[in-house]
Structure 1
Amino acid sequence: MSAIETPSARDPWLVADVGGTNARFGLVTRPGGRPERVVVVRGGEYDGLADAVHDYLRLHAGGVRPGAACLAIAGPVHGDRYRLTNTDWAGTGAGLGIPYVELLNDFEALALSLPRLAGEQDLASLGGPAPAPGMVKAVLGPGTGLGVAALVPARGGWVPVPGEGGHVSAPVVTDLEIEVIRALRADGMAFVDAEHLLSGPGLARLRHGLALVEGVAAAPLPAAEIVARVDDSLCSRTVSVFCGLLGSFAANVALTLGAHGGVYLGGGIVPRIVRRIRDSDFRRRFEANLVPSGYLSGIATTAIVAEQPALTGAAAWLGQRHADRTPLPPPARSGEAASPRPRSIAP
């Protein structure tokens, strides 16, 4: 099997970040290039991923046929098979009609982007010292769901490690947070995990829980309106509690992974509220665990504010496969296990 071909305007690479709400597509037309012709579409307008890919290529990419693709999926990826956690999209890369398709978890791709992000246009400090070079990095982020991944140093590069850390228990600490959990359970939620509170739907659920605790009537609002209504006291308190929970969750991730290379926050919500996170209890809660003393105060917390960073990570993955001249395995046929692939990427 031949190695992946060099991208060009005629034979580009397709990169995608497929979330529970939106799907983002772009093309890479030269080695080391950033994604171009980036378009965001609403997933609910399509019956499946293949329909969205074909529509993007037809309407926004001049009908080109990519030579290779890397798609970051918001859900579990098993070889050539994917399933989105918060929608009913599922299938295989082979169904896209592209010669070579690589599938990554979306936060695996976001982790891969970290070595390629720099400057205020890409990153915003949320407290702590500069990230330690050459050490484990963690990335997490609330969006339609709550993603978590790590980037681990390896000989000559980095290895991304995806997971489902968003489904650990909710990181409640304060009496108010405990009361919110009790109220939500009494309202019909048998179990409340971290994603149930730290996500777009989680913001709405958190506001509902606060309203139950405070005994006030509150018509449902989507996450975007909760964040935007800075003069609404219930919405403002919701964002404040959200930031505190996010700090405790980020600390748990940092401790679990030993993330001395920094904890990076991405997803769809964080870039909209960077200043409010800085002004909140986020960093204090991040450092609040005293065992071992001072461990967390030495770890940087940083917001990812770059445009479409998961596309950058997907492009980096294909770029490394091209640089290695690694022969890509053929897509697995239905019922077959996919061939193993190398998982490291150069600095």
Structure 2
Amino acid sequence: MKDLLVGDIGGTNARFALWRDNQLHAVEVFATADYSGPEQAIEYYLADQGVALGEVSAACLAVAGPVDGDEFQFTNNQWHLSQRAFCKHLQIDRLLLVNDFTAMALGMTRLKADEYIEVCAGDADAARPALVIGPGTGLGVGCLLRQGERRWLALPGEGGHVDLPVGNAREAAIHQQLHGQIGHVSAETVLSGGGLLRLYQAMCALDGDVPRHKTPAQITDAALAGEPRAAAVIEQFCRFLGRVAGNNVLTLGARGGVYIAGGVIPRFAELFLRSGFHTSFTDKGCMSDYFAGIPVWLVTAELSGLLGAGVALEQALHD
């Protein structure tokens, strides 16, 4: 039986694994800058695993951006892919390209008990959609629908680019400060790694402070060490995330629960759990009671996108 290959390709790194018995095997991480394209990185990976060209029958790659047609240009790195040329080069019969947040959403179906933390208690309604939202390099937003005992549908979108919601005078002032600098203020403008730095700079400007930190990591470290300014920025970040997540729950009717994924929040999980996220999440006026009983989980798993690519491939081959 031929092998199956899965990949999760971001701006900086690409993760590859063999998919066997519905599980990941031999996960390796490659720097995208070290290879001219995905074919070259995968060829090296397969050789490292002792898998010859022609021994992989199908592959699924999770990629950042809308997937349409044969050609795909990666958003945050120099790679380009033609599906036909890819299959010919690697002697693969079938290539499935999926949006990276489609894979992330499908990865939620494979979480283990120690790979998520309960943020808000509740009982998920399995017949209703679940929301998957993830601040990382950008802000990913997706919807997960159960279609049977072992069948799932992930609906990707561009929800990270909706307008940043404002709930009070302070947030209105922050929005105005950002708008004056960059124009349109999307949710991703703030709710991402780079957005955390942008939020910090905007809050310093509003309060007449000189920014001391130059990277998101420095802000996070300072907040964890108890610096008031950095802690206030993290608190506001969490509150904005609550507003955006709550808006999406209402839009989708996501009583199936909310998964907070991505690489940003786990870096300050303790602060997040103590933050005003829940207050902002449920602050919806006459619809505030709608949120009673909707569970929220913080996902700490590192390979959800790669697992989701495996789930997508498994379902596609079953079809």
* TM-score, with length taken from structure 2: 0.89
Counterpart in the other structure of 2:137: 144
1:294 Cα deviation after fit: 1.0
1:12 equivalenced with 2:6 (yes/no):
no
Counterpart code for 1:165: G
Say if 2:213 and 2:219, in contact at 8 Å, map to a contact too. no
Structure whose residues are more often helix by fraction: 2
SS at match of 2:307: helix
Counterpart code for 2:145: V
Q: CA RMSD in A?
A: 2.1
- Specify every segment of 5 or more residues in structure 2 that has no aligned partner in the other structure, as ranges: none
- Specify every segment of 5 or more residues in structure 1 that has no aligned partner in the other structure, as ranges: 1-5, 327-347
Equivalent-residue separation in structure 1 for 2:154 and 2:21 (angstroms): 21
Equivalent-residue separation in structure 1 for 2:93 and 2:49 (angstroms): 17
| Length, aligned pairs only | 310
1:75 Cα deviation after fit: 1.2
Structure whose residues are more often strand by fraction: 2
Q: What CA deviation, in whole Å up to 9, does each residue of 1:280-313 have, x standing for no partner?
A: 0011111111332411222111111123011111
* TM-score, with length taken from structure 1: 0.82
Equivalent-residue separation in structure 1 for 2:285 and 2:121 (angstroms): 16
SS at match of 1:35: strand
Equivalent-residue separation in structure 1 for 2:168 and 2:28 (angstroms): 41
Q: What CA deviation, in whole Å up to 9, does each residue of 1:138-170 have, x standing for no partner?
A: 101011111111112335632211111100011
Equivalent-residue separation in structure 1 for 2:202 and 2:297 (angstroms): 28
Say if 1:76 and 1:83, in contact at 8 Å, map to a contact too. no
Equivalent-residue separation in structure 2 for 1:54 and 1:173 (angstroms): 51
93 and 289 in structure 1: CA distance in 2 versus 1, 3 angstrom threshold: same
1:251 Cα deviation after fit: 0.5
1:197 equivalenced with 2:186 (yes/no):
no
Equivalent-residue separation in structure 1 for 2:291 and 2:75 (angstroms): 31
Counterpart in the other structure of 2:289: 294
1:38 equivalenced with 2:27 (yes/no):
yes
1:280 equivalenced with 2:269 (yes/no):
no
Say if 2:7 and 2:60, in contact at 8 Å, map to a contact too. yes
SS at match of 1:273: helix
44 and 291 in structure 1: CA distance in 2 versus 1, 3 angstrom threshold: farther
1:114 Cα deviation after fit: 2.1
SS at match of 1:292: helix
162 and 183 in structure 1: CA distance in 2 versus 1, 3 angstrom threshold: same
Counterpart code for 1:102: L
Equivalent-residue separation in structure 1 for 2:35 and 2:191 (angstroms): 27
Counterpart in the other structure of 1:68: 58
> Match for 2:157 among 155, 163, 171?
163
Equivalent-residue separation in structure 2 for 1:90 and 1:282 (angstroms): 38
> Match for 1:129 among 122, 146, 156?
122
1:83 equivalenced with 2:73 (yes/no):
yes
Say if 1:184 and 1:209, in contact at 8 Å, map to a contact too. yes
Counterpart in the other structure of 2:232: 237
1:106 equivalenced with 2:106 (yes/no):
no
